Amino acid sequence: MALTVHRGGTVTYDLLADDVAALIQALDLDRPLIAGFSYGAITATIVGIRHPGAVRAIVNHAGYDAFDPRSPAWAMSRQMFGGSPDAIEADPEAAARFFSQSAQMQGVFELMKADQDSGQGKDYWREYLRLGFHLLTQPPGYTMQDLGAITAPTLILVCDRDEVCSVEDGVRAYRALTVGEFAVVPNTSHIITPPLVELMVEFRGRWS
């Protein structure tokens, strides 16, 4: 399996998951544990669906809601990246305004811009949002039922103050798994914190 070279067009979760599996093979890794946050968690989980046996265990932190096509997160994402819950294409200026509403989100946005511009040229971040709009705003094509196809032990990691992913959706995702664990971190929103990282490390230790 070769790493996918993708130029132009839209990016899909299947493409990203296949690239992760190809990278594992290219690096000759022995069934590593993979962990993802938010959109990264969606990708990590789809690796488990599309490539059984490629990974030893999976952590889905705040990306489990994506497997419910009715999740309000999709309309929220269209508002975030397109300026409207009904947007059908990216609006970079609207995205910049949205992320400027908090220092934490602004910092994440600036890191994204710097990363894209340094690799592709000034203001490429706008094109990046355009190419990734469908990925960021539409269900990935899998449902909670598909989580039952994952053979790798999977941790559903939930934050009780997450304004995007509900605890209830986390329970549904956990119950759909064949082999899974479920953890709720109190007084935490849609962010990565040291206690969350510690939980991931502990989970890795149980399945290494």
CATH 3.40.50.1820 in the chain: give the residue spans. Answer: 13-71+143-207
Question: Do 156 and 64 form a contact (C-beta atoms < 8 A)?
Answer: yes
As given in the structure block, the two tokens for residue 9 are 């067009």
Instruction: State the Cα–Cα distance between residues 199 and 92, nearest whole angstrom.
Output: 35
Question: Do 174 and 199 form a contact (C-beta atoms < 8 A)?
Answer: no
Alpha-carbon separation of residue 101 from 2, 95, 97, 105 (angstroms):
41, 10, 7, 7
Neighbours of 152 (CB within 10 A): 24
Q: Give pLDDT, residue 107.
A: 86
Kindly report the pTM of this predicted structure: 0.87
Q: Which fold has domain 13-71+143-207?
A: Rossmann fold (3.40.50)
Q: Give pLDDT, residue 7.
A: 52
Average pLDDT value for the chain: 91
Task: Print pLDDT tens along the chain (208 aa).
Answer: 333 444 556 679 999 999 999 999 999 999 999 999 999 999 999 999 999 999 999 999 999 999 999 998 899 999 999 999 999 999 999 999 999 988 877 888 899 999 999 988 999 999 999 988 999 999 999 999 999 999 999 999 999 999 889 999 999 999 999 999 999 999 998 888 888 888 888 888 887 7
Q: Give pLDDT, residue 8.
A: 55
**Residue 133, exposed/middle/buried by CB under 10 A (0-12, 13-18, 19+)?**
buried
| Sign, CA torsion 58/62/66/70 | positive
Instruction: State the Cα–Cα distance between residues 198 and 171, nearest whole angstrom.
Output: 21
Neighbours of 25 (CB within 10 A): 14
Question: Do 90 and 130 form a contact (C-beta atoms < 8 A)?
Answer: yes
Residue whose C-alpha is closest to residue 95's, from 114, 115, 79: 79
Instruction: State the Cα–Cα distance between residues 131 and 37, nearest whole angstrom.
Output: 20
